[in-house]
Amino acid sequence: MIYPFKAGAAVLVLAACAGAQAQVAGTFSARFGVTRIMPDTTSGNLSEPSFPGTKISVSDATQVSGGVNYMLTDNISLDLPLALPFKHKFYGDGAIDGVGQLGKVKVLPATLFVQYRFLEANAAFRPYVGLGVTYAKFFKNRTTATLTGLTGGGPDHPTTAKMDNKFALTPQIGFIYNINERWFVNASYYKSFLKTKAHLSTGQSISVKLNPDVVSFDIGYKF
């Protein structure tokens, strides 16, 4: 994972004497950077027939990202993070901890934030809070022979999986620091309260709270 706050601190030191462009109503900006999604997984049990306590864990994922922002007023903005699809792997947990990878999935989370930026519009450093709604679209589910074996499938009938697309509430904190009149640094942390369900071709299913922690670091440009 790329941890943005250490990198952001270095940029702040280098840019301490730089001027700032006011973030006033009507300002539009775009940014480019990296985002890491870290699921805080709480798994339910795989439905019968299965070993009691059959659960899953989900890996972290990092992806190239960015976003666009529009200032509605000097303090309130709309923010839309953008990213390529994230790739997460699923592993056995609970009673099947240690069996290895069970599958993988791509997810494209789309979030629209309403942000409130503190301090004056011409301040170089502006912390903010945000609240957004996330729609998580899961696709390209792939499973392994391990999952097939655990669920009673075979080479001719491998077990497949499909995950439900879901909405989630997403609070956010972050900051903007203006390097000069056009360029700025953006760093943010947010958490999506996301719960979904995986459906297997065997008729079994498993519910899982992903509740991912998300960290982003970007370099942006104001138009």
DSSP 70-115: EESSSSEEEEEEEEPPEEEEEEEEETTTTS-EEEEEEEEEEEEEEE
- Verdict on whether the full-model pTM lies above 0.85: yes
The residues spanned by each domain of the chain are 4-89+109-137+166-194+203-222
- CB of 103 within 8 A of CB of 144? yes
| pLDDT given for residue 185 in this prediction | 98
Average pLDDT in the 136-141 region? 97
* Residues 109, 138: Cα–Cα separation, whole Å: 9
Q: Measure the CA–CA gap between 46 and 103, rounded to whole angstroms.
A: 15
Residue 198 pLDDT class (50, 70, 90 cuts): very high
Strands 86-94 and 101-117: antiparallel
- Are 216 and 35 contacting, i.e. CB atoms less than 8 angstroms apart? yes
**pLDDT tens digit string along 98-135?**
999 999 999 999 999 999 999 999 899 999 999 999 99
* pLDDT at residue 18, as a whole number: 38
CATH architecture of the domain covering 4-89+109-137+166-194+203-222 = Beta Barrel (2.40)
89-93 long-range contacts (CB < 8 A, ≥24 apart) are 89/58, 89/59, 90/56, 90/57, 90/58, 90/59, 91/56, 91/57, 91/58, 91/59, 92/54, 92/55, 92/56, 92/57, 92/146, 92/150, 93/41, 93/43, 93/55, 93/56, 93/57
Residue 12's H or E segment, with its range, is helix 4-14
In this structure, of 14-23, 40-49, 162-171, 182-191, the range with the lowest mean pLDDT score is 14-23
